[in-house]
Amino acid sequence: MQMSLFAAFALLDKENSYKQKMQEIIRRRLQALWDNTGFTLVEDPLRVGYYTEIDMLVWAEKFYGEKFVEYLKKTYSPLNVVFRLAQETSLVLLNGGGFDGPEWSVRASLANLNESDYITIGQGIKRILDEYAEEWRKNRS
């Protein structure tokens, strides 16, 4: 039934204005999240944008090096980031490993939160990574 409604709506919206508006909202949410992580979103012409995945180990190595990555793997579970984010911001992401993504990735749906929530998520991810790095630096001394 729902697919029939979608199909009927698509036939009525001849200019695709609804579809274009939804795609623009998704793009803004994606940009809001990534702009606030401090990470670089790589251009991908095939990106649908409904979900985004951030591999924490890629960015941990880029910002802090391989020894920090080793520390993270030894000290924390890949789920720590998503649990901390939920606890500190009340925003829930999923671990990307459950979707055949990298074990240390976080996955966010771009379809169901306000744009400001994606800013909070991006800032939270960056803050958590920075706090882990600060802890690592203190433990090295």
Q: Each residue of 106-115: pLDDT tens digit? A: 999 999 999 9
Asked if residue 12 belongs to a domain, the reply is no
How confident is the model at residue 26, as a pLDDT? 94
Is residue 91 pLDDT above 80, yes or no? yes
- The count of other CB atoms within 10 Å of the CB of residue 140 is 9
> In this predicted model, what pLDDT tens digit does every residue of 33-89 receive, in sequence order?
999 999 988 888 888 788 999 999 999 999 999 999 999 999 999 999 999 999 999
Reported pTM: 0.88
CATH number, position 116: 3.90.1150.10
Asked if residue 5 belongs to a domain, the reply is no
Asked if residue 2 belongs to a domain, the reply is no
Residue 96 and residue 106 in contact, taking contact as beta carbons nearer than 8 Å: yes
Which residues partner with 51 through β-bridges?
A: 109
Asked if residue 103 belongs to a domain, the reply is yes
How confident is the model at residue 48, as a pLDDT? 76
Asked if residue 75 belongs to a domain, the reply is yes
Contacts 24+ apart (CB under 8 A), 71-78: 71/132, 71/136, 71/139, 72/104, 72/132, 72/136, 73/104, 75/132, 75/136, 76/132, 78/103, 78/104, 78/105
The secondary structure of residue 64, as a DSSP letter, is H
How confident is the model at residue 14, as a pLDDT? 86
Top pLDDT among 23 and 136 is at: 136
Q: Which domain holds residue 50?
A: 20-140
**Domains contained in the chain, number:** 1
